[in-house]
Structure 1
């Protein structure tokens, strides 16, 4: 499949680009960026060509991989879909619900494939853990409830927690510290999608979200009530010191307690699996869980939380 790469920042340079260039079933036909010089430099490193006209790149490829800020990504994703390109997008797809909905509608209207790179679903061993817990919870009947009580979580999981604590703004030497969109939107929008990508597939859609600021930096706490009757919490931050950083998640229910394992590989390896997932979707017509409609749901939950928080 002929791929074009949109974006020239650290994520494109360290993850998307190398994974596409190394994939045996991909031909990387070009790179487009909002600035011409970084696009030329990255294209040279990846042994491909730079494109100054993004629509020309769409016309030269079968699919595009996007490594751009979400509110730049969404309109370009719609244009790419309208041009007949399959989409490999980053999370969040957009920070406005109407923009995320527009991407999903464009995908369905054009009949193209779409996979969104929710990293935990494509990394190992976390991806295997998520699939295992979805099957494990579904195989365990939920406990009985009193007549008239709200039903328990579908599949047996009742309570969940997903915390993502990062030192990007807390003193880490990170290439993402200077990212303008991360500074503007904070951890809620950058790592909140990761947390929700764990909880929603295991506990079901969110019926209500309550959000509160954490008191320092961009830290935020979420309490979620799921339509299934389950509940969950998230703590999200880019402002902890390096010694306090970490990613943890668990679900509890009739199946017992399951804790998210530690990721053990580089993001580029996970991105290669996301490429595989898009290729498989295009070949078989079977949509991946991490598609445009799932990404739209994630944006809607985060937007509801954002509305309850003080203006940054």
Structure 2
């Protein structure tokens, strides 16, 4: 379709249609076929958050002591268990960060930063949603995210994953305007893809709902072994397909789930498998976007 032809009703115009088999070839460093990145969600959930008229923060009445305590296991215990397993096998994290964690539990943020992990914004709290926000509110959250992470880590965030995956129609335009250059909020592809915005430049890096541990354990009711097997099958298929053009595999994690004592061993087996295989470029989200962008435009961040 030419640019002069109107888009069909319902097409948001975020990206062009690009058939999987007819794209420019992507080659990852060292001839690797699949870029693998791990996305730990380091989050903070309020025990009694302000009500959003479009969505409840907790299924139970507030304050939800059980929900809060279960998720607080991440910051007290299971972050450390998950992070140490990742470090043992050479996997850096690209952190989906609830920005308020920098104030509530700076020790967790400092640990991730010392490990060389990258940070991108996951909103302020994972119990406060974008639904119903006006533009001024959304701008303040983006500005707060940039400023707070820079103060806490000396890093400037480049990416965005909307809090609890909630958006407004302007979110992608705004993050590009503020200089962020990748989003994790589009689940439409297995390769990095360009996103259309009013200003700036934006790429969509493959995140995942299908192999997200939240979906694995809460939606699909997988056992630890079943979840580990799903990750390995995801990796194996993408590594083969990546021989024609480099693919991307994201492993999104929540420490209070994957870092439980009865789950961590199966997950560590996945890390061992990928690290030993030889076809994976084990990297961070920003580095993957940079390598893709150089091949697409000759220009990096």
TM-score (norm 1): 0.30
Using CA pairs under 8 Å that are at least 6 residues apart, name the structure with larger relative contact order, 1 or 2.
Answer: 2
Judging by fraction of residues, say which structure has more strand. Answer: 1
